[in-house]
Structure 1
Amino acid sequence: MNAHKVEAVLTEDGTLMLHGLPFHAGDTVEVIILESQASQQTVVLPSQVETNLYPLRGKVVRYDDPTEPVGLEDWSVLQ
C-alpha cells in the first residue's frame, strides 16, 4: 500500500479538489477524509525559528592532537 498525505481546503460545501497526486489515471485508490484539528496544529512564529542554520561557519577550529586516545582510564581491560 502506497500512502500519500495531502492537506486541502474545501472550496465549497461537499467539494474537494486534489491536484498533483502521485497516482496515474485508472489506479484504484482508497480515500479517507479526516477533519484537521486546529488545536493540534503548532504555529511557529518567525521569531522562534533559528535564522543561523550554520552557527560554526567562519569560526576558528583547532585540533591540538586529534589522534590522541581519550578515555583510557575508563577501560578496565587495559589496566
Structure 2
Amino acid sequence: MKAHRIETKLTKNGTLVLENLPFQAGENVEIIIIERSSQLSDSNPYPLQGKVIHYDDPFEPAVPIEDWEVLQ
C-alpha cells in the first residue's frame, strides 16, 4: 500500500484540489481528511532541538539485577 501526505488549505468556497499525485489514472485510492489545528502547524516540529538532555546514570539497568528472572 502506498501512502501520500499533503497539507493544504481549502479555498473560500470549500473546494479542495489535489494535483501531481503519485498514483496512476484508474487506481483506487482512499481519501481521509483531518482538520489540522493551527497550533500544531505553527509549532516547532523539533521541540527538543537545542535543549540539554541529562542522564543521571545512563548505564544503570532499568530493572534491578535482583529482579532478573534469567539470573535466578
Q: TM-score, length-normalised on structure 2?
A: 0.52
Alignment of 1:55-70 (within 5 A): none
Partners of 1:3 and 1:15 lie apart in 2 by: 22
> What is the aligned partner in structure 1 of residue 19 from structure 2?
19
% identity of equivalent residues? 45
> What is the aligned partner in structure 2 of residue 9 from structure 1?
9
Gaps of 5+ in 2: 46-72
Which runs of structure 1 show a deviation greater than 4 angstroms over 4 or more consecutive aligned residues?
A: none
Note the C-alpha offset of 1:11. 1.6
Q: Relative contact order: is structure 1 or structure 2 higher (C-alpha 8 Å, sep ≥ 6)?
A: 2
Q: TM-score, length-normalised on structure 1?
A: 0.48
Residue 35 of structure 1 aligns to which amino acid in structure 2? E
Gaps of 5+ in 1: 45-79
Structure whose alpha-carbon radius of gyration is higher: 1
**Alpha-carbon RMSD:** 1.7
Partners of 1:8 and 1:16 lie apart in 2 by: 8
Note the C-alpha offset of 1:38. 0.7
